[in-house]
Structure 1
């Protein structure tokens, strides 16, 4: 136990230990309802036309090229941090602990941080692959739903982001929604679907009030 604590609190493992602590705190707050699971979600539409501009566009392009789309970004980040922590911990335990503290140890530790993350990327892409259907936002069973209502599930709804849940044939289906700003739409509100972009599976909504 002492050796475990020494490793997770020393370089290089401590880098991912700190990140993992933030991830655990986030999921704890999500479980008690203080945060949304999609708080960091870029709302990527891998089937639509994507224009990679600015920082968000660069991140979007990187995620798509690495196969890290189709699930909420928070899940992707959590898996990346967890896997990187595991790889770094065991590398530290079996290799770096044999070295004396010094510049060699620090250089190898820095390399371990980078390499562990790079190895975690394809592993995470493989893990989330079977999870994508759970977060699918388009369903052929929807048909024409313009004029019906849905329940907002995201923390906000604006011109670039938003999700809602609609019930069809006793099934709850998640859809992408958008709304003009400013608005007073919040999570849990019932909104009216007033228009649809069939090419991108995006629905425009308005507050019932």
Structure 2
């Protein structure tokens, strides 16, 4: 175990280990409810005029399922094989403390991009279906919701709206100057498609 830790944080493997550690910390924060899974997501859409200079980059990212999946979801499937191959290859070649080991990160990373694409492919359809199912939520505007996770104008929280079936879970922010605490009732007043979340106001303040 000690040898594995030493190898993981050798000069050649430090970046891969740091990336894996970052992903693990991120998921812990998501689990405790301080962040949403799409908090660090990226937008692959060009602006209204189009930006030809980055079109190729958008196409490349889309090829690896980025844009179809949350960034951190993809990065999770990239970081683990990246770390495992980095440690394994450098240990086998004895390059964990050399510049050659650092340079090997580039071909290893390239290979892991394709591995992550392959590993995440089954989830693309799942996330597509989830996004499609979220479309009918637009009719919740004007309805009351119950706050599950606190929200303000900067912090994304979560709220539920009662339906005939299972409650709808919404990612929410408040209007400027308002704070929605857990357990409070709020009114859904708008939908922000660019952020895929709903704007609410505490019901008592209306």
Q: Say yes or no: TM over 0.5.
A: yes
Structure 1 unaligned regions, length at least 5 = none
Aligned residue pairs, count: 197
Q: CA RMSD in A?
A: 4.5
CA distance in structure 2 between the aligned counterparts of 1:175 and 1:157, rounded to whole angstroms: 14
Residue 144 (structure 1) aligns with: 139
Instruction: Give CA-to-partner distance per residue, 1:75-124, whole Å, 9 cap, x none.
Output: 33333322321232333344x33x596544443x3424542553355235
Distance 1:137 1:176, change over 3 A: farther
Residue 16 (structure 2) aligns with: 16
Structure 2 unaligned regions, length at least 5 = none
TM-score normalised by structure 1 residue count: 0.63
CA distance in structure 1 between the aligned counterparts of 2:141 and 2:23, rounded to whole angstroms: 38
Q: Secondary structure at the match of 1:15?
A: helix
TM-score normalised by structure 2 residue count: 0.63
**CA deviation after TM superposition for structure 1 residue 22, in Å:** 3.0
Give matches, 1:169-184, under 5 Å.
Answer: 169-175=164-170, 177=172, 179-184=174-179
2:186 maps to 1:191: yes
Q: Secondary structure at the match of 2:167?
A: strand
Identify, as 1 or 2, the structure richer in helix: 2
CA distance in structure 2 between the aligned counterparts of 1:40 and 1:202, rounded to whole angstroms: 11
Give matches, 1:98-117, under 5 Å.
Answer: 102-107=98-103, 109-112=104-107, 114-117=109-112
Distance 1:127 1:138, change over 3 A: closer
Residue 75 (structure 1) aligns with: 73
CA distance in structure 1 between the aligned counterparts of 2:96 and 2:9, rounded to whole angstroms: 17
Distance 1:146 1:187, change over 3 A: same
**CA deviation after TM superposition for structure 1 residue 203, in Å:** 4.3
Instruction: Give CA-to-partner distance per residue, 1:164-191, whole Å, 9 cap, x none.
Output: 4323233233345454323223566432
**CA deviation after TM superposition for structure 1 residue 192, in Å:** 0.6
2:34 maps to 1:35: yes
- Decide whether the 8 Å contact of 1:153 with 1:164 is kept in 2: yes
Residue 201 (structure 2) aligns with: 206
Residue 7 (structure 1) aligns with: 7
